Amino acid sequence: MQPSQILSKSHSTYHKMDFKEISPVQWTGEHVKEWLKENNHSKFSYLFCDQHAIDGKALLLLTESDLRSSSLGIQALGDLKRLSLSIRQLQLEHSNAIVQMGYDLSELFQFPKGTTGCYPLCSLRSIKERLISKDPSLSEILERTGSHFPSDSEVENHGLPPEIGKTLLSLFYLFVVTWITAFVMVVVHDRVPDMKKYPPLPDIFLDNVPTIPWAFSMCELTGTLLLIVWLGVLTFHKHRFILLRRFFCLSGTVFLLRCVTMLITSLSVPGTHLQCNPSVDEDWQRLFTEEMYTSLSRKIQRAYIIWRGAGMSIQGVRTCGDYMFSGHTVALTMLNFFITEYTPRHMYFVHTFTWMLNMFGIFFILAAHEHYSIDVFIAFYITSRLFLYYHTLANNRSLMMRDSNRTRIWFPLFSFFESSVDGIVPNEYESPMVPLGKLFSIVYQRVFHFIRDTHVQLLGTRVKNPDKKSD
């Protein structure tokens, strides 16, 4: 019997066999039609087999993007999804055949963007483990074909990359804003209205509550407690770099806005007990005279003192004129909102505790007569609204993507810092030793590879240029 006759007979044998009895790699168009009919997709038989000549091998390699292509022209979304699901089930059942054909499974089974669990049916990593358990020889084939199977950490962190570089950039942004704020506080201190000429403005709270001398120090102590709690959350939160990036960005933006409001209008001193007198030799007008450079250097020195002490009276910093709006209220409110947002909902005690610290801190500011009531109210409103607007956009990608150009124009920092964050940041926690261990591993590998490459280069140089011994 001739070889051609043997092949012909073999082909006819496969053609007559039921599609369930042979591998999909050997399916003909008729087998594909039977499979479509078996899975309630018989209306696509002509489209697949007669019009596009799809056999078993082609069927195993179809993706959802192929089904969406204009050449197939499947219009009904329900039909497309059901057909895609059936094909994926077939691919999973015969994934070893796909690997043996030399194709990368990771190109066929892709995780949808933003999902943190495994793909429906099973994950790529479980596919690999199942294939190797069935046939250990496939391990070498998978390595040779270069099929990439994401690790559990890669799957969990998909859509939530730490982006340490962006976090450092947001820290630099906050650093610049704090310096600008300190300099503006020096300027407005020199412009504060004369207390004899401009008495305190009428205020419902300040007019009815006597001054408590130690209240402002208590306000700063409550802020310190909130900061300690926030540092504890950052220490154990799995997505600490995203949290830091958001905290730096929002804090910097609010304090930058505060610089503008402080400069626009100078309010009179809210309490007669405050020692606030405009500087005689360093007033705002003399900044642009012949003594400009001397005056500017002095202002920078004073700004450094304010920046170094974080504008806190317990650090020895005393300023006046920075009333609209309250920076202490901004810090208290920002810390409170971040703690309550990035701790589990069942931690009612922590949330109640931070809200009490926030409210008592605001009360202490007013009780010390350091700010008008309107200063505190506006500070709380702006900080809370900006926090909520930012997180509403970050947690609802559809709102941001509806008009991406407008988002980039009106919220440039948000568009940059949140470009790679897809979806809500889950409140997941881990030991702080985990990121330190990863950092140590990366540094160790790079140092090891550097030493190894240097050693290899030195050996290569010695082989090419051996030392000549002198006679």
Long-range contacts of 441-444 (CB under 8 A, 24+ apart): none
Examine the residue annotation and report whether 422 is marked as an active-site residue of this protein.
no
Separation CA 160–CA 299 (nearest Å)? 43
Catalytic residue among 328, 346, 391, 403: 328
Residue 104 is among the residues annotated as catalytic for this protein: no
Q: Is 328 a catalytic residue?
A: yes
Phi, psi of 237 (to 5 degrees): -75, 135
Alpha-carbon distance of 337 to 339, in angstroms, equals 5
d(CA 215, CA 205): 15
Count Cβ neighbours within 10 Å for each residue of 140-162 and write b for 16 or more, e otherwise. ebbeebebebbeeeebbebbbeb
Across 21-30, b (16+ Cβ under 10 Å) vs e yields: eeebebbbbe
Phi, psi of 91 (to 5 degrees): -65, -40
Residue tagged 């962006």 (tokens):
166
Closest CA to 376 of 430, 367, 349: 367
Contact assessment for residue 425 and residue 160, using Cβ atoms and an 8 Å cutoff: yes
Catalytic residue among 375, 391, 403, 471: 375
Q: Of 203, 371, 403, 455, which one is the catalytic site residue?
A: 371
Query: Counting Cβ atoms within 10 Å, is residue 440 exposed (0-12), middle (13-18) or buried (19+)?
Result: exposed
Say if CB 432 and CB 234 are below 8 A apart: no
- Give the active site residues: 328, 371, 375
